[in-house]
Structure 1
Amino acid sequence: MVLRVGYVREHFSSPLLQYAAADNGKTFTLVECPSGTGQLISRLTNDEIDVAIALTDPLISGIAKGPQAYKLVGSYVTTPLNWAVVTGKASRYKDIPDLQGTKIGISRHGSGSQTMAYVMALQQGWPTQNLEFQVNNDIQGLVDSVNDGSTSAFMWEWFTTKPWADAGDVRFIGSVPTPWPSWLIAAHPSPTRAPVETLTTFLTTLTAYVRSFDSAEKRESGENVEFIKNTWGYDEQDVKQWLGTVGYTGDCRKVEGKVIEETLSVLQKAGFIQSPECGFDIKQFVNLDIVNLV
């Protein structure tokens, strides 16, 4: 069986892309989801992909809200994601507090751009039940919305958005790092959609590529910098700065229980999810046939 692996084509995907180039479609194919984690979750639900490498908070909140379209099967990036708070090039907003009571742009409901808006509101002390959103599908739609005035701001990963800021199309007015490791791996729980043996092989091999990419040897040689520059056309200094902030897992089949617990805690405080009366059972968030829950 050939797995359908959904991903967002960003610099974080570099080890996955290197693995895909070597595999050449023998064991998995890549399905690009430019709208982000909300689109990845939708495609898992609609049987368009079998595996998703996606943001921690939407994956966990999606399971917490009840759907059984996927469970966690592993980890990917262990460092926080730095979300830029982005407004229009000529908007009146100067700082994050200026955004209170305004309409925030998001890619999709349930996306990282929405969950992080709740986290930002929590940090600012805003009443989260009053947050108002407009869905704009992808980053270009979000950029257009802050410039036509239909939204005040949106949140997106800092370095992914930086080319628009460098070109003068948008302005950064702040940033909000995630209070959790940023990327996890999820898969459909059905053994016919994502067989245990096939998925285990995929994750084990992905671990080898992740370890190689994250190794001191690759970092010191400059290979990573050249790969990212050639793949995305990013400025060399931006690439080096990002590489200095990112860290990957040493085992893609491992998930830390405290990551699930702490993410759930923050999302509950932010008002994005509600705990059942008996509380959450973190074992229900993972596929124990595949993952090592520690």
Structure 2
Amino acid sequence: MVLRVGYIREHFSSPLLQFADDDAGKTFVLVECPSGTGQLISRLTNDEIDVAIATTDPLISGIAKGSNAYKLVGVYVSTPLNWAVISGYESKYQSIQDLKDSTIGISRLGSGSQTMAYVMAMQQGWPSENMKFQINNDIRGLIDSTNDGTTSAFMWEWFTTKPFVDKKECRFIGSVPTPWPSWLVAAQPKTPAEDIKQFLASLSGYVSAFDLPENRASKDVEFIKSRFGYPEEDIVAWLKTVGYPQNCLSLDAKIVTDTLAALEKAGVVTPPAGGFKVTDFVDTAVATLV
């Protein structure tokens, strides 16, 4: 089976892209999802992809809200994601505190941009039920909405947004790092477990190679520069903040429980009677729970 692997074309995907360059469609094909994790979840649900590499919180909140379209099968990035809070270049909003009771731009319902807006509200002490959102699909639509005044701000990964800030299309007004490891792997339950395990075992090799100090010092920088066009200083700064797992198939149960605890506090999910069970979230025929 040739797996259809959904991904977001960002610098985080570099080890996956290196794997794809070598694999050349033999065991998997990449399906780009520019709108983010909300789009990845939608494509899993609609049987348009078999596997998704996506941000942790929307994946977990989707299952917590009753989705049976996918389960967690592995880990891709072990460090938090630094979400930038971005407003229009000439907007009146100067800080996170200014955003209270305003309309926040999001890519899709259930996306990381929405989940993290709830986390931001929790940190600020704002009632989550008062949050107002406008769907703007992708980063271009999100930036435009902050500049035409239909939204106050939006949230997106810091270094992905920085080129637009450098071009003075928008402004950073704050940041909210995730209180959990940032990227997980999910798959449709009907996808053969052995195919997923083979894919993730091979991906682990590329992740481990990318994580080597000697590759971080040169090869990784050159790859990201050539593939994404980011300035070298931004790539070097990002590499200092990101960590990858040694084994993508090993999933710490605390990732699930800690993320659920934070999402509950933010009002994103409500536990069922008896609480959540980690095994409802993880396909243990693929991933090893530790």
Taking structure 2 as the reference length, what is the TM-score of the superposition? Answer: 0.99
Which stretches of structure 1, 4 residues or longer, exceed 4 Å deviation after superposition?
Answer: none
- Alignment-derived partner of residue 289 in structure 2: 293
- Alignment-derived partner of residue 205 in structure 1: 202
Code of the residue aligned with 1:113 in structure 2: it is: S
**Secondary structure at the residue paired with 1:76?**
strand
Q: Distance in 1 between matches of 2:193 and 2:223?
A: 32
- Alignment-derived partner of residue 196 in structure 1: 193
Q: Distance in 2 between matches of 1:94 and 1:125?
A: 18
1:229 aligns with 2:221: no
Q: For residues 112-158 of structure 1, what are the alpha-carbon distances to aligned partners after superposition, in whole Å with 9 as ceiling and x for unaligned?
A: 00000000000000011110000000000000000000000000000
Equivalent residues in 2 for 1:277-288, closer than 5 Å: 277-288=273-284
Code of the residue aligned with 2:238 in structure 1: it is: W
- Alignment-derived partner of residue 68 in structure 2: 68
Aligned partner of 1:256 among 252, 255, 262 = 252
Q: Distance in 1 between matches of 2:223 and 2:204?
A: 18
How many matched pairs?
Answer: 290
Report deviation, 1:273.
Answer: 0.7
Equivalent residues in 2 for 1:128-143, closer than 5 Å: 128-143=128-143
- Alignment-derived partner of residue 45 in structure 1: 45
Q: Distance in 2 between matches of 1:124 and 1:29?
A: 42
Report deviation, 1:217.
Answer: 2.2
**Secondary structure at the residue paired with 2:172?**
strand
**Secondary structure at the residue paired with 2:77?**
coil
- Alignment-derived partner of residue 187 in structure 1: 187
When the two chains are superposed, the root-mean-square deviation of aligned CA atoms in Å is 0.5
Code of the residue aligned with 2:147 in structure 1: it is: N
Overall identity of the aligned pairs, in %: 65
- Alignment-derived partner of residue 114 in structure 1: 114
Code of the residue aligned with 2:154 in structure 1: it is: F
1:9 aligns with 2:6: no
- Alignment-derived partner of residue 97 in structure 1: 97
Code of the residue aligned with 1:216 in structure 2: it is: P
Code of the residue aligned with 1:15 in structure 2: it is: P
Q: Distance in 1 between matches of 2:156 and 2:209?
A: 27
Q: Distance in 2 between matches of 1:70 and 1:83?
A: 25
Q: For residues 265-294 of structure 1, what are the alpha-carbon distances to aligned partners after superposition, in whole Å with 9 as ceiling and x for unaligned?
A: 000000011000110001110101010011
Q: For residues 148-181 of structure 1, what are the alpha-carbon distances to aligned partners after superposition, in whole Å with 9 as ceiling and x for unaligned?
A: 0000000000000001100000010000000000
Aligned partner of 1:268 among 258, 264, 269 = 264
Code of the residue aligned with 1:264 in structure 2: it is: L
Report deviation, 1:196.
Answer: 1.3
Q: Distance in 1 between matches of 2:120 and 2:24?
A: 41
Q: Distance in 1 between matches of 2:196 and 2:126?
A: 42
Q: Distance in 1 between matches of 2:112 and 2:56?
A: 8
Report deviation, 1:254.
Answer: 1.1
Report deviation, 1:198.
Answer: 1.0
Unpaired stretches in structure 2, ≥5 consecutive residues = none
Q: Distance in 1 between matches of 2:51 and 2:128?
A: 32
